[in-house]
Amino acid sequence: MTKTFINFFCFTMQRLMMLTVLLLGFAVNPVSAIESTRFTDVIKSNGSGDIDLFNPSTNGRVVDGPALEQFRLDNNGQLAFAVDVNEAADGSEKSSSQAVTIDTATLILTIGGTDYTYGVFTTTTRTLLARKGETNRSLYYSLIGDSGSNRITTNSSSDIYASSFDSTLSFDVPDDISGTTAARLLVTLLETNVQLGDPEAFYDFSNGFEDVAIITKVDSDYLNNLGAGQAEAPLVLPAETFDTGTGSRVYYPSQTEFYLAAYEDLFPNKGDYDFNDLVVAYRVYANLDASGLLVSLGGEGYLVARGADFIHDWHLRILLPQSVNGSGQLSLFQPLQTSAYEQSQIEVNSGELDVLVFERARSLWVDTDGNYKFVNTPSDQALKQGHRFSFTVTLDASIDLKQFDEPPFDPYIYVHNTGYEIHLEGKSPVLSYSINTLEGLTSFTDPNGYPFAMILPEDWLIPVELEDLGAAYPDFIDFVSSNGNNHSNWYLNQAPGLTRPLYPSVWKW
């Protein structure tokens, strides 16, 4: 087993939303007749576009109400568009990286003689910019690309095939739109204060025109994965970056969701492999100043399940540039309590933040209402809320967000009974006293590729105590044996009665 397991549900910095789309938002494509289609209308060089969605530029293509509904269903309740970023390659923009910024974007669909307006949209990236004539920066969605062409997707019938389309623009459309009789996409690009230099000079519109196409989910995923031009663009922020009034905040995995870290603690032996020995939900956020530099960070999370006799410490380790130091505070809360029962100082030392969050979880969290030695794993046990944690850390120097650690970071456990630490595959042991370090062990899978730590979506349901993960989720075995190539959505296929209904509504409080 390679890094498949640690990257299985990971979000890269530029792909904070893509993880949600690719791994939490999978769906079987309900239609096959539609293909991505370019429009005749474009976003003009003056920064405005009025695109008639019923006017495709490709001969023989028809876009009408039923087709729009097919595109919406294919994209899981969204209409997705591709944009060919076509800017002048001068100044900080160049052929390998160029961008424009969206000021406003609106869909207007006419159904039964009534105009319905949809204005909730997103791209895969945002940035902090000052509007023309202003110096204060605000968050805007951006479209980044390059002058490359010949994008090759899986379907040669798509207008994205062998094209120069770069970036995507998606709208939430929760309604059935098959009765649409007219459809327009209105886009206005932002006039930035180019006198400030970058990033404003980079994200202005200076050339045009920008072609637009309506696209399938396959092509949307392709372009989002491609990330054309993003590596060289300044101040690239994930789409889910939020304005805080004094700056902005980026959440990992998102403002409303958590990573779920699950462990099998008998490493390096497979054991009962019920993968519920310790389950912890967590998320991390980065606070940015008005210039988009990271100045502080924090996180929060919950104990979700504990199905082990062994004693574990749960750590969350986050790496920063080695020159960076900082300090902050960790707070722990008893279930359903709003006042912390314990607070402790935490520090960033030479770029490393290693927070020992839950120490000796076996004695920390017990079922005081029933005669159970585990919590939330026996099939007949009432489900319970676990301890909550939160932490904040202020850095002694601001850094570029690109220097921040890759999510989902390094959540790991130390097993007191065996002396082993257990990380996601691809990570390294870090404790000087662990057997892993003393014996030079660097892998966290068994000889057959089975992992001992995984990151899963927050609504994944844990196996019942002593039920093998492969029995609770039958597709998991093929997923492992194929090195992650088959059944990547194995966690959807549950065997009846072998998992606990431990939904986020239970453990989030």
Q: How many CB atoms lie within 10 A of CB 434?
A: 19
Phi–psi pair at 413, nearest 5 degrees: -120, 150
Distance CA 289, CA 398 (A): 9
Taking the model in full, what pTM does it have? 0.82
Q: What is the pLDDT along the chain (509 residues), one digit of tens a residue?
A: 433 333 333 333 333 333 333 333 333 334 447 999 999 999 999 999 999 999 999 988 999 999 999 999 999 999 999 999 988 776 789 989 999 999 999 999 999 999 999 999 999 999 999 999 999 999 999 999 998 767 878 788 899 998 999 999 999 999 999 999 999 999 999 999 999 999 999 999 987 689 999 999 999 999 999 999 999 999 999 998 999 888 899 999 999 999 999 999 999 999 999 999 999 999 999 999 988 999 999 999 999 999 999 999 999 999 999 999 999 999 999 999 999 999 999 999 999 999 999 999 999 999 988 889 999 999 999 999 999 999 999 999 999 999 999 999 999 999 999 999 999 999 999 999 999 999 999 999 999 999 999 999 999 999 999 999 999 999 999 999 999 999 999 999 999 999 999 999 999 99
Alpha helices in 208-308 (DSSP H): 217-226
Strand duo 98-111 + 420-422: pairing: unpaired
Cβ(262)–Cβ(279) under 8 Å? Answer: yes
How much is the pLDDT for 89? 72
How much is the pLDDT for 150? 72
Query: Hey, which residues does 248 pair with through a beta bridge?
Result: 243, 288
158: left (phi over 0), alpha (psi -120 to 50) or beta: beta
The residue ranges of every structural domain in the chain are 31-239, 243-507
Question: Rounded to whole angstroms, what are the CA distances from 452 to 53, 268, 272, 289, 425?
Answer: 50, 8, 12, 38, 8
Query: Hey, which residues does 314 pair with through a beta bridge?
Result: 358, 413
Question: Rounded to whole angstroms, what are the CA distances from 62 to 73, 232, 311?
Answer: 17, 37, 63
Strand duo 312-319 + 420-422: pairing: unpaired
* Structure tokens that stand for 60 in this block: 């023989």
Report the amino acid identity of residue 72: R
Distance CA 93, CA 202 (A): 6
How much is the pLDDT for 91? 73
How much is the pLDDT for 273? 97
How much is the pLDDT for 466? 96
Q: Please list, in sequence order, all residues whose beta carbon lies within 8 angstroms of the beta carbon of residue 168, skipping any fewer than 6 positions away.
A: 80, 81, 82, 83, 123, 124, 215, 220, 223, 224
Distance CA 347, CA 394 (A): 9
Q: Please list, in sequence order, all residues whose beta carbon lies within 8 angstroms of the beta carbon of residue 309, skipping any fewer than 6 positions away.
A: 362, 373, 417
